[in-house]
Amino acid sequence: MAGWYETAFRHVLYPIYESGLRRRRTLAYLNEYRRNQWLAPEQIAALQWERLQRLLEHCEREVPFYQRRWRELGITSADIRNLDDYAQLPVLTKADIRAHADELTADSWRDRLQFKATGGSTGEPLRFGFTRESNDRRTAVMWRGYEWAGSRMGRRTLFLWGGAVGEPTRAHQFKDRLYNAAFARRVLNSFSMTEANMSSFADAIDAYRPDVIVAYVGPLVRLAQWLIATGRRIYRPQTIIGAAEALHEFQRQIIEQAFGCPAYNTYGCREFMLIAAECEQRDGLHVNADHLLVELRKPGSAASSHADDPHAAGTCTGEVVITDLFNYGMPFVRYVNGDVATATSSTCGCGRGLPLLRRVDGRVLDAIRTPAGHILPGEFFPHMLKDVAGLERFQVVQRRLDQLELVMVRGPGFDESSLAYIRREVAKVVGDSIELRCEFVDDIPLTPSGKLRVTVSQLPSSVA
Ligand SMILES: [Zn+2]
């Protein structure tokens, strides 16, 4: 029998010890990023360039994928003398990563990577590796962005978020609870929201009295609409941070009216966490240019303009191309995440030197409805399907209230158990009130702007 202390240590003390250490490192990075934000735009550009050069040299030394690719192009890292040269390098796609994950792993990190999967909002699940430093830095960058919205580490924070899918183990659930308690946070599962149980979400907010609410935009707007329609008063947080999809102005107004506090727009994705966020001026989103390089590429062209070039005139719109300057384990050099954004050359009244995005488009995820009154945010599907092996692309279409069509492109790893898993997970949230039709196809057409719409609702607006 394992001693009780050993069990306690493994499940209780060690996670605390580890998060204590991790927290210290994350705090050191957070302090560094806090200082960087006030540098002049030129200084930030110089810092970014230095970090990019270091990354490229590392890729040349250690990452077989780039060694081969650059050799084929006849170039070395020394040939890349500025961002214009850099913009000539080929982009990295999800397909590249799926086909060459092993080759993209740096030699010295081969056995030390952590992994994460994403369903992304582009409907193509992806598994990728990252280093511990990269993870801690991402967390720090996220905190810096959340601080602009008035959040602070340790403040009571309520997440209206995606819940667990699959079967989390009891140890895992316990660790989650411990973590949430230690970090003063509570998570509400937005996937279980229905018209009928809205009041229980309002009750949970009243009971927890959060300073900060971080929420998927779709479910938050519906809760806000319900609060306004029913006249229900609710505990007033100090700030609300929208996540996972763009917060549009009309949605911001509804949320602010219902909750009586400012709501902030952020832009992130699972591959990099927070990419850009609004500061207290709420006049564009500051790009985390000391941590990432964000370029905007004209669709169909090789070259791109730099969101962080302070000399570019006016605004420019293009496909988002991102380089993570700190993931040395599996470096993403010029990764296309499928979003489209508009950058502006204007500076922000707050005085931060980080460049601005005017807006981000692209993550179009329609909510799905059921006869039982569920309103399932579009994020549910990428979140759930990211763990399905061999699923290359998918799209969910709702034409009737009682029916969902799941169209899939499957790869070698997909089998009967994958399908059973999908059916089980969907049934868990929507019950049997809705029929799930699964269909396999060779390809799923993109929208005219080159995006894959992951969830499409064609219900008439009187229903949807
Ligand atoms: Zn600002």
CATH architecture of 368-457: 2-Layer Sandwich (3.30)
Give the mean pLDDT of 309-319. Answer: 65
Q: What one-character DSSP code corresponds to residue 192?
A: G
CA of 350 to the centre of ligand 1 (A): 4
CA of 151 to the centre of ligand 1 (A): 15
Tens digit of pLDDT for each residue in 151-206? Answer: 988 889 999 987 655 555 666 677 677 667 766 788 888 878 877 889 999 999 99
CA of 223 to the centre of ligand 1 (A): 29
CA distance 239 to 201: 17
pLDDT band, very low/low/confident/very high, at 447 (cuts 50, 70, 90)? low
CA of 323 to the centre of ligand 1 (A): 22
CA of 345 to the centre of ligand 1 (A): 13
CA of 157 to the centre of ligand 1 (A): 23
CA of 176 to the centre of ligand 1 (A): 34
In this prediction, residue 30 carries a pLDDT of 95
Decide if pLDDT at 463 tops 70: no
| CATH code of the region 4-136+284-360 | 3.40.50.12780
Decide if pLDDT at 212 tops 90: yes
Give the mean pLDDT of 68-85. Answer: 95
In this prediction, residue 118 carries a pLDDT of 76
Give the mean pLDDT of 9-35. Answer: 77
CA distance 75 to 105: 20
pLDDT band, very low/low/confident/very high, at 259 (cuts 50, 70, 90)? very high
CA of 213 to the centre of ligand 1 (A): 21
Determine the length of the chain: 464
CA of 403 to the centre of ligand 1 (A): 45
Question: Around Cβ 17, how many Cβ atoms within 10 Å?
Answer: 11
Q: What are the start and end residues of each CATH 3.40.50.12780 domain in the chain?
A: 4-136+284-360
CA of 34 to the centre of ligand 1 (A): 13
Residue 421 makes CB contacts below 8 A (sequence gap 6+) with 166, 387, 388
pLDDT above 90 covers a percentage of the chain that reads 52
Decide if pLDDT at 341 tops 80: yes
pLDDT above 70 covers a percentage of the chain that reads 84
CA of 70 to the centre of ligand 1 (A): 38
pTM of the model: 0.77
In this prediction, residue 107 carries a pLDDT of 96
In this prediction, residue 17 carries a pLDDT of 60
Decide if pLDDT at 289 tops 70: yes
Decide if pLDDT at 55 tops 90: yes
Q: Who has greater pLDDT, 414 or 39?
A: 39
Decide if pLDDT at 384 tops 50: yes
In this prediction, residue 285 carries a pLDDT of 97
Give the mean pLDDT of 367-373. Answer: 79
CA of 361 to the centre of ligand 1 (A): 20
Give the mean pLDDT of 304-315. Answer: 55
| Strands of the sheet with 315-324, listed across from one edge | 266-269, 273-278, 285-287, 356-361, 335-344, 315-324, 292-297, 304-306
CA of 417 to the centre of ligand 1 (A): 49
Phi and psi, residue 409, nearest 5°: -105, 120
Decide if pLDDT at 140 tops 50: yes
Across the chain, mean pLDDT equals 85
CA of 303 to the centre of ligand 1 (A): 28
In this prediction, residue 123 carries a pLDDT of 63
Ion ligand 1, residues whose Cβ is below 5 A away: 279, 281, 348, 350, 352
In this prediction, residue 63 carries a pLDDT of 98
CA of 184 to the centre of ligand 1 (A): 27
CA of 366 to the centre of ligand 1 (A): 30
* Residue type present at position 435: E
Decide if pLDDT at 224 tops 90: yes
CATH architecture of 150-261: 3-Layer(aba) Sandwich (3.40)
CA of 146 to the centre of ligand 1 (A): 13
Q: What are the start and end residues of each CATH 3.30.300.30 domain in the chain?
A: 368-457
Residue 46 makes CB contacts below 8 A (sequence gap 6+) with none
CA of 348 to the centre of ligand 1 (A): 5
